[in-house]
Amino acid sequence: MTAPLLILGWGNPSRGDDALGPMLLAALRQSLLAALGDQVELLEDYQLQVEHALDLVGRSRVLLVDASLSAAAPFEVSALQAAPDSSYTTHSLSPQALLQVYQNLQGQTPPPCTLLAIRGSGFELGQPPSPSALAHLAAALSWVRTTWLPAG
């Protein structure tokens, strides 16, 4: 059965603060399984791609999580609206475009989707997440637990 809530995070665990999305999922995975395991699915990938539109099907709410170079510290939360994308490689897809793909594929409005953009600063290969990014992650994690997730 499809879990009503989906948290989809992406990033490269080997590239510094790019790991923030996967790290948030890892932290939740440890603490959530017992309490909310059947209500929440945690999904990780390297990058957002079109087929993730199919992962939105049947959800009541979705949280998308990525590191951000432009978000205000420690994190920004915004309601996502479907919008077209413009890229010249297959190596990126915006969250807004993912919703648009869903809309066109399913012929209906996507479930309510929230973007959690965690501020990062260093994305060098082989570097650990920066101390500031880890502080931002802790704040974001707290927000997910207290605000986005249901009481468990």
Partner 1 sequence: MTFALETAAHPEGLRRVAIDPVSRVEGHGKVTLLLDEHHHIQQVRLHIVEFRGFEKFIEGRPYWEVPVMVQRLCGICPVSHHLAAAKAFDRIVGARPVTASATAVRRLMHYGQMLQSHALHFFHLSSPDLLFGFDSDVAKRNIVGVAQAHPEIAKKGILLRKFGQEIIRITSGKRVHGTGAVPGGVNKLVTKQERDSLLHDLPQMLSWAQDAVDIAKALHAQNPALYNQFGSFESNLLSLVRADGAMDLYDGVLRVRDAAGRILFDGVEDQRYLELIEEEVRPWSYMKFPHLRSLGAERGWYRVGPLARVQNCDFIPSERAETERQAFVAWGRGELVHASLAYHWARMIELLHCVEVIGQLLADPALLAGDLVTSGVRQRSGVGMIEAPRGTLIHDYDVGDDDLVTRCNLIVSTTHNNQAMNEAVRSVAREYLDGRELTEGLLNHIEVAIRAYDPCLSCATHALGQMPLDVTLLAADGTRLDQVQKSSTGEFVHVD
Residues that bind partner 1 (CB under 8 A): 10-15, 17-18, 44-47, 49-51, 53-54, 66-71, 83-92, 94-97, 100-101, 104-105, 117, 120, 123-126
- Of 38 and 51, the one with the shorter C-beta distance to partner 1 is 51
CA–CA separation, 136 and 71 (whole Å): 11
Spatial distance between the Cα atoms of 10 and 5, rounded to a whole number of angstroms: 17
Least CB distance from residue 151 to partner 1, whole Å?
29
Q: Which is nearer to partner 1, 38 or 124 (CB)?
A: 124
Q: Copy the structure tokens of residue 53.
A: 């539109």
Choose between 27 and 85: whose C-beta lies nearer to partner 1.
Answer: 85
To partner 1, the closest distance from the beta carbon of 43 in angstroms equals: 8
How would you classify residue 16: left for phi > 0, otherwise alpha for psi between -120 and 50, otherwise beta? left
Contact yes or no for 111/56 (Cβ under 8 A): yes
